[in-house]
Amino acid sequence: MNSTRFLAVGAAAVLAAGVAAGAAEQAPTVPHPAAEMAQLKPFEGSFACTGQADASPFGSAHATASKVHTHGALGGFWVSGMVVETKTAATPRPMEGMFHMTFDPGKKQFVMLWVDNGGGWSQETSPGWNGDTMVWTGEGSMDGKTFASRDTFTKKGAETLEHAWELQLNGTWTPLGHETCTAAAPAAHHMMKH
């Protein structure tokens, strides 16, 4: 090998080593769920919910009953749940919906996404718990119309959550319903691990 070729190969090796070292220094860190995700633990588990849907432009007042199953998902970055309403004479086409909650570390707020079997959806945010109450506000769509939405959760002991939901109709917050959700069993509250 002549000296010119040897120098070129040597320079390429040094350059490759420098690029590799630079890449190692700039390797992306493995993301970890935000510590604030612990605030969503009260939502995890299996719950039985009973309550009341209020009379509104979307339907008449009636008693409600549903099952909620929620767990940590996607490496602990999300809490995901399924809500299935019980079929009754007042609810011949029971509501089913899915929700996903997380913490956005960039915006320093919690985010909740909702979709349901009526084509409805919502996206809400919350600053977190204020005492035993967590209020989510945002925007939702139902029957092709978009509304400001608000969901309020209140802890009632270690195993019970109260939930009220509202939409802003004609500039006024209008209650659509409320329910009390109780953990199916003490162990069920945290049975699903991240």
Q: Residue 90 has what pLDDT?
A: 86
Q: Please give the pLDDT value at position 194.
A: 32
pLDDT at 6: 44
Burial code of 110-124, b = ≥16 C-beta within 10 A, e = fewer?
bbbbbebeeebebeb
Closest C-alpha to 168, from 57, 22, 71, 28: 57
Q: Give the DSSP per-residue string, 55-113.
A: PBTTB--EEEEEEEEEEEEGGGTEEEEEEEEPP-SS-SS--EEEEEEEEETTTTEEEEE
Nearest Cα residue to 177 out of 58, 92, 73: 58
Q: What is the pLDDT of residue 185?
A: 67
Report d(CA 8, CA 58) in Å as an integer: 76
* Amino acid at site 156: K
Q: What is the mean pLDDT of the chain?
A: 85
- Integer-rounded Cα radius of gyration of the chain: 25
* Phi, psi of 16, deg, nearest 5: -65, -40
What whole-number distance in Å separates Cα of residue 149 and Cα of residue 175?
Answer: 10
pLDDT lower than 70: segments of the chain: 1-25, 185-194
